[in-house]
Structure 1
Amino acid sequence: MTVLITGATGLIGQEIVKQCHAEGINVHYLTTSKSKLSTEANYKGFYWNPNNNDIDHRCFDGVSAIINLVGASISKRWTDDYKKEILESRTKTAQLLQDTIKTHNYKIEHVVSASAIGIYPTSLVNYYEEDNTEISESFLGKVVVEWEDAVDGFKTLGSKVAKIRIGLVLAEDGGALPEIVKPIKYGAGAAFGSGKQWQSWIHVEDLAALFVFALQHKLEGIYNGVAPNPVSNKELTKAAASILSRPLILPNIPKFAMKLALGDMHILLFESQRVSSQKIEAEGFNFKYANLRPALEDLLL
C-alpha cells in the first residue's frame, strides 16, 4: 500500500511516517522545500507550492489513500494576515489536491484528514462526543468548520473520508509541551486562569497510531483524537512539575496578562474542552498512553 502524506515533515507527520514504515506502508509526501525531497523506495518526496497552485501530480502515482495533515501552525501570534494563512493553508490545499485528482483522473479510495477539537465550544461541564452540533464562536471554531467542509470535497471524488479532531498533542521536541515545561524548569510554573479548564491531550505516538489505524481500517466520519482521560490545566501543570521535581510556588497566571503577551492566540491556554475518545475505542483502538502521568514520564524523563 502507498499513502500520500501532506505535512509529513511536521511533528505529527514524522511519527506517522515512522509507523507507516513499521507497518510496511510506502509513503509519498508533498513538500514546499526542494531540499527535503527524498527518493527512497518507501519514502518519495514531491514538490508543491500551494500558494501558486503548483503541484507535481506524480505524487498520486500508485497511491490509494491520503493522510492530510497540512496547515500553518496555530502556535504563532494571530495577526490578521496570519489568521488568513491558518485558514487558507487548510482549505486551499484541500482544493488543490482535489482539483489535481480530478484533472488527472486518479482514484483515491480513502482520505484521513486532521481536524481539531477547537470546533467544540469552551465549557467546564460539557463532555463532547463527535455528534455534538454546537460550534465554537471562536476563530478556531470557524477554521475547523471551513477545514472540514473543504476536506468533505474528497467525497465528491468517490473517496471515503475520516476526520480526526486533534486535541493538545504532547511530544518531546515540539508542540505545546516544551513551552508548558519551560517555566516549570526555572521554578516559575503556574496554571493559567482558574486552572479548571479542561485539556484534552494525546501523546504524539498514540495520535500517529490512531491515524494509521483509521487508514488500515478504512474508517469514515469524525473521530476525536484525544486520550481517554482529559485533565484540568492545573492537573497538567502539577503533574509536569512533580515529574520534573520542581515546586509550583507562583499564583495562577491571569488571562489579561496572557492576552497582552500573546494577543488573540491566548485563548489556546484558556479554552476548556472535555472531549470523549469512546468512539475510536469502540472501533478497537487501544491507547498506549491512556493516562497523563505515564505519557509525561515517557516524554520528560
Structure 2
Amino acid sequence: MKIVIAGGSGFIGNKLSNLFISEGHEVSILTRKEKSTAKDVSYVKWLNNGATPEKELENIDVFINLAGVSINDGRWSEKHQKQIYDSRMEATDELLRIISKLPKKPAVFINASAIGIYPVSLDNEYTEASIYTPNDFLGRTVDDWEKKAKLVGQYGTRTVFMRFGVVLGDDGGALPLMVLPYKLFAGGTVGSGKQWVSWIHVADVVRAIAFAVKNNNLNGPVNITSPNPVNMRDFGKTIGVVLSRPHWFPAPSLLMKVALGQKSKLVLEGQKVLPKVLLKEGFEFSFPTLEKALKDLLG
C-alpha cells in the first residue's frame, strides 16, 4: 500500500512509519521542513507557502493524520490552547484540500483523536457507543477535530477516529515525567488517587492503527486504550513495584494546579474508557496489563 502520514516524525508517527516500512509498504511523510528522501521513506513538504503536496502524491491508499501541537508540552495558557486547537484544524483542513485534488481518493483516512472527548468522571464507563456531551477545552477541541475530519467521508473514504488514551512509551508521552519522582525516591499518589487512567502501551497504539488500516469493519470512533484501566493510586503503586521504589510522597491537587495550571486536569481528572470496538473485532493487546507494560518500558 501507499501510505501518507502527517505527523510521521513524532512520538507515535516514527514508530508507525517503521512498522509500515517493515511490512513492505511505501510511506510518505508530510513535513514542514526540507528533508532528503531516504531509502525507505519519502518526505513531502506541506503547510508552507507555495507547497503543493498533492502533485507529489499519486494513487495513495491510506492517509493518517497525527499532526498537531502536543497537549503535553508547555503550560495551558490561552495562547497555548489556541495553538493546540488551531494546529489540529489547520492540518486537517489541509489534508481535506489535498484529498480533494487527488484524482484517486484514498480508501482509508485515519485521524488521531483523544479520550478527552469524554467528560471526566469517577463513576461512568465509556465505550464508543456512549452518549455524552464534551464540556471542557480538550473535549470541545476533540469534538470539533472529529467533525472536521468526518468531512472526508464525502469522497467515499472510510474514516476512523483513533481516540488515544494516555500513551506510555520510554522515549516520549507522559510516562517519563510520571516516573521521574520514583527514580528520585519521591513518588506517591497524585491528587485524590481515585481518578481513572485509561492508558495504553505505545506498541499497542501502533499495532492498533495498522489494524484499523486493514480492517474494513472499523469506521468512526475507536478507543485506543488498554482493556484494563486503573486509578491513579494503583498506577503510581505499580510504577513503584516495577522500579522497586517507595510510593509514599503524595502530590496534593492544589500543588499540581499551581504548577500546571489548567493542564493539571490531565493528571487530576480522568475517565474510564474501554476499547470495545477493538476487542469486538479481535484485536489482541501485547500489553493488556499495566504491570506488563511498565516492565517492558522500564525494565
Give the TM-score normalised by the residue count of structure 1.
0.95
Q: Which amino acid aligns with 1:101?
A: I
Count of aligned positions: 297
CA distance in 2, matches of 1:54, 1:141: 32
Q: Which residue of 2 aligns with 1:248?
A: 247
CA distance in 1, matches of 2:71, 2:166: 12
1:105 shift after superposition? 3.3
Q: Secondary structure at the match of 2:113?
A: strand
Q: Which amino acid aligns with 2:87?
A: S
Does the CA contact (< 8 Å) of 2:54 and 2:101 recur in 1?
Answer: no
Runs of 5+ consecutive residues of structure 2 not aligned to the other structure = none
1:104 shift after superposition? 4.3
CA RMSD of aligned residues (A): 1.4
**What fraction of aligned residue pairs are identical, expressed as a percent?**
37
Q: Which residue of 1 aligns with 2:172?
A: 174
Range with bigger deviation, 140-149 or 77-86: 77-86
Range with bigger deviation, 204-213 or 239-248: 239-248
Q: Secondary structure at the match of 1:63?
A: coil
**Where does 1:124-135 land on structure 2 (aligned, <5 Å)?**
124-135=122-133
Q: Which residue of 2 aligns with 1:71?
A: 68
Q: Which amino acid aligns with 2:241?
A: S
Does the CA contact (< 8 Å) of 2:47 and 2:94 recur in 1?
Answer: no
Q: Which string of whole-angstrom CA distances, capped at 9 and with x for unpartnered residues, describes residues 214-260 of structure 1? A: 0011321111000110011111111111111111221x212121111
Q: Which residue of 2 aligns with 1:165?
A: 163
CA distance in 2, matches of 1:55, 1:176: 35
Q: Secondary structure at the match of 1:263?
A: helix
CA distance in 2, matches of 1:55, 1:14: 23
**Where does 1:1-301 land on structure 2 (aligned, <5 Å)?**
1-34=1-34, 36-40=35-39, 42-49=40-47, 52=49, 54-75=51-72, 76-218=74-216, 219-250=218-249, 252-301=250-299
Q: Secondary structure at the match of 1:161?
A: strand
Q: Secondary structure at the match of 1:165?
A: strand
Q: Which string of whole-angstrom CA distances, capped at 9 and with x for unpartnered residues, describes residues 123-168 of structure 1? A: 1111101122212311100110111011101111221101110000
CA distance in 2, matches of 1:119, 1:154: 20
Q: Secondary structure at the match of 1:142?
A: helix
Distance 1:77 1:37, change over 3 A: farther
1:11 shift after superposition? 0.6
Does the CA contact (< 8 Å) of 1:53 and 1:96 recur in 2?
Answer: no
CA distance in 2, matches of 1:135, 1:300: 37
Q: Secondary structure at the match of 1:28?
A: strand
Give the TM-score normalised by the residue count of structure 2.
0.95
Q: Which amino acid aligns with 1:46?
A: V
